[in-house]
Amino acid sequence: MSVAILGGGLSGLSAAYYLLKSNGKLSIRILEGSSRLGGWIRSNKLDNGVIFEEGPRTIRPRGLAGDNTLSLVQDLGLEDRITPIYAHQPAAKNRMVYAKGKLHSLPSSFGGLFKTTPPFSKPLIMYLLNDIIASSKRVEDESIYDFVNRRFGQDLADYLISPLICGICAGDSKEISVNFLMKGLFEYEQKYGSIYKGLVRNLFNVEKHELSELGVKAKREKWSVYSFKTGLETLPKTIESHVRSRGVPIELNSKCTKLQLSPNNVQIQLGNKMVAPEHLISSISSQELSRLVRDQHPVLSDLLGNIRNVTVAVINLQFGNLRLREGFGFLVPPKERLPVLGVIFDSCCFPCGDDRTVLTVMMGGAWFGRLFGDDPGEEELLSTAQKYLKVTMGVEEAPREWKVSVLRDCIPQYTVGHDGWVREIYRYIEANRLPLTLCGSSYHGVGVNDVIYSSRNAAESVCKSINAMK
Ligand SMILES: Cc1cc2nc3c(=O)[nH]c(=O)nc-3n(C[C@H](O)[C@H](O)[C@H](O)COP(=O)(O)OP(=O)(O)OC[C@H]3O[C@@H](n4cnc5c(N)ncnc54)[C@H](O)[C@@H]3O)c2cc1C
């Protein structure tokens, strides 16, 4: 059986890895549209040794998907190249928001819940207790902002959840579905009338899974998040060597311009070349896939097109030692109406010399077009980033090194209705018996762990259906 994987980002590469693991006899090829692999993961190493991460920079070790990644990392022999941030370090403990003209540290301990910490006007516990008296409302889906506002109050929606959504998916919490981050809590409310009632009823129903060896180590050593000493791109690069060394051909500059999918038939148009595998795993964004199937499957195309992506400007900067307050960085609530989504203190997370401070400013996201138009110049983005570093942190020094990147349509938005569209997409593929399996960040989570896990599920489901046909 021949399987083509569309896209050579982390999910496409992982899909190849898991296909090989499940069935060594498959004929697999990866078709990548650009001239490099890794997709949004790009670790740019400067001549002075500093690494500018353009896309993701840390991975969470927790949960089923987090442990799955650790298991992959271990299988790839990358254990010694990990650099964790431990729970006791300032980069794990000090996460800030910029609000009401100042930087505020968010409570990081149980005791912190009982103190009034600005920008909140009362102790966090008071907001949390509000859930007990708040009336419930039966809804199919709603925005995460509305849900948190209803259950815990507006302060928490404005100063905790909204900046968090900016940090995770550069999105607007008033549009993002509650299921994106709080599916379990939302289900508790819908089923039991309040989150607390749901938590109490399910106290002993916590799902446990056996941890991988590296997962046990991460838990024992209390890793908060981790990366690799040579940057996060180490992960896709190592998967690439793994799959290449096992004979998987990787075709760069092979952009699919059209797809024909019918039962038992796939035709992939690559410029003026046609490829016809027996099955296709698509790891590209739903937005791009929507364009490719529009002519033949307009209904599927509309469903896929509902999941749109936003653009983020990433400005990596290296200064001399700025002697900043230590922490992971800060996020900016959209209520503050600043063009900045957040600033990461890279050199505090992963130190790179006493005489250097490295920061990353993220801008735009759901507000990119309104803030910067279609095609902002590098100069404009750099000077905006510098202006707001001065406003928020008082940084006056000019950077010694910098890199401005505009990541077009880089993060999918799981807006209200997302889960329903994904169900419909799967139903359409099944009902029409299309030889197509989906993975990547558009469907079941936008983080590194989610996309690797989605690729594992995609590969295993392809192998299962092959076995069923035998
Ligand atoms: C700025 C930013 C910061 C992030 N930070 C974090 C973080 O700290 N932690 C975390 O867990 N996650 C983070 N993420 C999310 C993480 O980067 C993504 O989940 C992950 O990289 C997605 O990988 P992917 O392979 O699914 O998609 P992509 O990286 O988009 O890969 C898709 C590939 O398909 C190719 N392609 C597209 N169209 C075609 C076509 N028509 N034909 C052939 N090939 C095509 C593309 O060139 C690309 O190589 C961040 C994302 C961004 C953008």
CA-proximal residue: ligand 1, atom 41 (nearest): 256
Same domain, yes or no: 361 and 424: no
Strand bridging mode 250-251 / 273-275:
unpaired
Residue 154 inside a domain? The answer is yes
Assess if residue 221 is contained within a domain.
no
* Domain limit, last residue, from 396, 412, 428: 412
Both 376 and 320 in one domain: the answer is yes
Q: Is the CB of 314 under 6 A from ligand 1?
A: yes
Distances in whole angstroms, Cα of residue 9 to Cα of each of 6, 20, 103, 226: 9, 17, 35, 20
Spacing, Cα 72 to ligand 1 middle (Å):
18
Q: Are residues 149 and 274 in the same domain?
A: no
Q: Which tens digit of pLDDT belongs to each residue from 43-63?
A: 999 999 999 999 999 999 999
Q: How far is the CA of 39 from the centre of ligand 1 (A)?
A: 5
The predicted pLDDT at position 424 comes to 98
Q: Residues 175-184: what's their mean pLDDT?
A: 95
**Which residues does 320 contact at the CB level (< 8 Å), separation at least 6?**
355, 356, 357, 397, 400
CATH, residue 444: 3.50.50.60
Q: How high is the pLDDT of residue 294?
A: 97
Q: 17: which residues sit within 8 A by CB, 6+ positions away?
A: 72, 239, 242, 243, 455, 459
- Ligand 1 pocket, residue 243 CB under 6 Å: no
Instruction: Report whether pLDDT(205) > 90.
Output: no
Mean pLDDT within 235-247 = 98
Is 251's pLDDT higher than 90? yes
Tokens of 307: 């999941």
CA distance 351 to 239: 26
Q: With contact defined as beta carbons under 8 Å apart, do 330 and 342 qualify?
A: yes
- Using alpha carbons, list the distances in angstroms from residue 215 to 64, 231, 452: 10, 20, 16
Q: Tell me if the bond preceding 61 is cis, omega within 30° of 0.
A: no
Q: How far is the CA of 430 from the centre of ligand 1 (A)?
A: 26
pLDDT tier at 109, thresholds 50, 70, 90: confident
Which of the residue ranges 16-25, 169-178, 184-193 has the most confident prediction, judged by mean pLDDT? 169-178
Asked whether residue 470 carries a pLDDT value surpassing 80, the answer given is no
Q: Which of 387, 412, 437 represents a domain boundary (last residue)? A: 412
In a shared domain, residues 283 and 313: no
**What is the per-residue pLDDT for 18?**
98
Ligand 1, closest atom to CA 445? 19
| 314/277 same-domain check | no
Residue 97 inside a domain? The answer is: no
Whether the CB-CB separation of 144 and 178 falls below 8 Å is answered with yes
Q: Chain-wide mean pLDDT for the chain? A: 96
Question: Using an 8 Å Cβ cutoff, are 255 and 270 in contact?
Answer: yes
Question: pLDDT per residue over 349-366, tens digit each?
Answer: 999 888 999 999 999 999
Last residue of a domain, one of 155, 185, 201: 201
Total structural domains within the chain? 3
Same domain (yes/no): 294, 345: no
d(CA 278, CA 276): 7
Identify whether 211 is part of a domain.
no
Residue 469 above 80 pLDDT?
no
* 410 ligand 1 Cβ < 6 A: yes
Task: For residue 3, give the H/E element and its range.
Answer: strand 2-6
Q: Say if 11 falls within a structural domain.
A: yes
Tell which one of 239, 314, 441, 444 to mutate to probe ligand 1, the residue whose CB is within 8 A of the most ligand atoms: 441
Residue among 191, 176, 206 at smallest CA distance from 445: 176
**Ligand 1 atom index nearest CA of 439:** 26
Report the atom number in ligand 1 closest to the C-alpha of 449: 11
In degrees, rounded to 5, the angle at the alpha carbon of residue 81 between the alpha carbons of residues 76 and 85 is 120
| Residue 133 included in any domain | yes
Mean pLDDT of 295-307: 98
Residues 408 and 423 in one domain: no
Q: What confidence tier does 226 reach under pLDDT thresholds 50, 70, 90?
A: very high
Instruction: Give the β-pairing of 265-270 and 273-275.
Output: antiparallel
Residues 21 and 167 both lie in one domain = no
| Cα gap 463→24, rounded to integer Å | 10
Q: How many other CB atoms are found less than 10 A from the CB of residue 380?
A: 13
Q: Where do the H-state alpha helices sit in 134-212?
A: 144-152, 154-156, 162-169, 179-192, 195-201
- Count of positions (residues) in the chain: 470
Whole-number Å distance between alpha carbons of 155 and 133: 17
411 lines ligand 1 (CB under 6 A): yes
In a domain, 334, yes or no: yes
Q: Is residue 162 part of a domain?
A: yes
Domain check: are 273 and 299 in the same one? yes
- pLDDT of the residue at 204: 78
39 lines ligand 1 (CB under 6 A): yes
Residue 206 binned pLDDT confidence (cut-offs 50, 70, 90): confident
Closest Cα to atom 5 of ligand 1:
56
Of all protein residues, the one whose alpha carbon is nearest to atom 36 of ligand 1 is 7
Other C-beta atoms closer than 10 Å to the C-beta of 48 total: 11
Q: What is the pLDDT of residue 186?
A: 92
Q: What integer pLDDT is reported at residue 411 of this predicted model?
A: 98
DSSP secondary structure letters along 364-399: EETTHHHHH-SS--HHHHHHHHHHHHHHHH---SPP
Q: In the prediction, which pLDDT does 354 show?
A: 83
C-alpha dihedral, 174 to 175 to 177 to 180, nearest 10°: -90
Confirm or reject: Cβ of 59 under 6 Å from ligand 1: yes
Block residue for tokens 């392809």 = 462
The protein residue with its alpha carbon nearest to ligand 1, atom 22, reads 441
pLDDT of amino acid 465: 86
CA of 233 to the centre of ligand 1 (A): 12
User: Is the same domain home to 302 and 326?
Assistant: no
Q: What is the pLDDT of residue 344?
A: 98
Q: What is the CATH number of the domain that holds 188?
A: 1.10.3110.10
Shared domain check, 266 and 242: yes
Give the CATH number, domain containing residue 374: 3.90.660.20
Q: Is the pLDDT of residue 11 over 90?
A: yes
In which element (H, E) is residue 240 found? helix 234-245
What is the position in ligand 1's atom list of the atom closest to the CA of 12? 25
294, 323: one domain: no
H helices present in 9-62, as ranges: 10-22
Please list, in sequence order, all residues whose beta carbon lies within 8 angstroms of the beta carbon of residue 445, skipping any fewer than 6 positions away: 65, 451, 453, 454
Q: Which domain holds residue 254?
A: 2-42+56-77+229-306+417-469
